[in-house]
Amino acid sequence: MRQVEARDNIIDKKLKKFKSDKSIIDGYFRALENLKNTLDPTTIGERKHGKYRFCFAIHITKSHSLIYLYLREKDLVQLIDLDDHKTLFGRDNRS
């Protein structure tokens, strides 16, 4: 089982922000388990570009994503951010 850690305190702040939204919290913990237990974390996320190049995103709800970076040499997943699409990428993907 690989190590998964938050890069900084942003994830903690976002979890507090979304604490009343059960679907986001459940999706977050489900994504953590998947990241810890999968053979290759790059296969379960979608590769990003631009601001989050080298990172991957997992949709935890229809409108919220978890951004992470996989450091293969350390077998470490760093959690970068958790938020809705518009906040993460500056635009809404439904438009």
Q: Which residues pair with 84 in a beta bridge?
A: 64
Q: Which DSSP string corresponds to 1-24?
A: --EEEESSTHHHHHHHHTTT-HHH
pLDDT digits (tens, 9 = 90+) for 11-38: 999 999 999 999 999 999 999 999 999 9
**What's the rounded Cα separation, in Å, for the pair 22 and 69?**
25
Domain that holds residue 10: 3-86
Q: Assign residue 35 the CATH number of its domain.
A: 3.30.2310.20
pLDDT digits (tens, 9 = 90+) for 44-70: 999 999 899 999 999 999 999 999 999
Q: What is the DSSP letter of 55?
A: -
Sheet holding 76-84, edge to edge: 3-6, 76-84, 64-71, 56-59, 46-47
- How many folded domains does the chain comprise? 1
Q: What is the DSSP letter of 66?
A: E
